[in-house]
Chain A
C-alpha cells in the first residue's frame, strides 16, 4: 500500500541555519505530495504541495521538489527562524476520496 517515510526528529538548529527534512514515499500511480506544519497546540496547516513530477512547491521560504525518480519530496529552507519551530508532516494523496497518508512527523526546534 501507499506509505510515507520521513526522517526521525527532533531536528535542532540555530537561527539562520539551512534546513532539510527528508521524505520518501511508496505509492502506486501518481500521487500528489504535501508538507503540513503543526505549531504547538494547534491543528495541521498546509505548508506547500506538488501535484506532479518535477513540480516545486514553495511557501514562506520553504521549498520541496517532487522527484519521481527517487520517490522523494524533501523539505528545505535556506535560513530558519525561531518561529519555524513546529512539527512538519509529509503526506501523499491519491484517489477520489482525498484521503491523506501522513508520515510520522519531524519536530524542528530552532534556537536563537
Chain B
C-alpha cells in the first residue's frame, strides 16, 4: 500500500540548475498539492491541482512550475534553482469527497548551493 511516493528524497543542486520532483499516488485521488516546509514558517502551498490536466497557483508559486498530465502524478519543476529554494518539499493528495484529510508523502529535501 504505497500511498503517496516522492522522488527523489534528497538532492543537492547548484544555483541555476534545473530539476523535477515527482509525486505519485495510487489512491485515485483528484486533488494534489505541493507544499514547502521551512523552519518557523510551517507549510506553504506552492501549486495545486484539482484534477488531471489542471494546475493552479498557491501561496508561493514563483520560481516553480507544475504539471498533471496523468491523474496519479504531479510534477514540480525548478527551472533555475536559487538558494532561497532550499527547503523540504511535501506532496499531498486527497479524494474529492474527503474534507481536509490529506495524505502526505515523506518529503524531499532539496539543497541549493
Contact = CB atoms under 8 A, between A and B. Distances in A.
Contacts of B45: 99-101
Interface of B: 4, 31, 33, 35, 40-45, 48, 50, 56, 58, 90, 92, 94, 96, 98-102, 104-107
B31 A104 contact: no
A103 B40 CA distance: 9
Q: Is the interface of A mostly helix, strand, loop or mixed?
A: strand
Given A89-B43, A99-B33, A99-B45, A32 B105 contact: no
Interface in A22-77: 32, 34, 36, 41-46, 49, 51
A104 B106 contact: no
A43 B104 CA distance: 6
25 contacts: A36-B102, A43-B106, A44-B90, A44-B92, A44-B102, A46-B100, A46-B101, A49-B99, A49-B101, A51-B99, A89-B43, A91-B100, A93-B100, A97-B31, A97-B48, A97-B56, A98-B94, A98-B96, A98-B99, A99-B45, A100-B102, A102-B42, A102-B43, A104-B40, A105-B43
B48 A43 contact: no
A101 B45 CA distance: 8
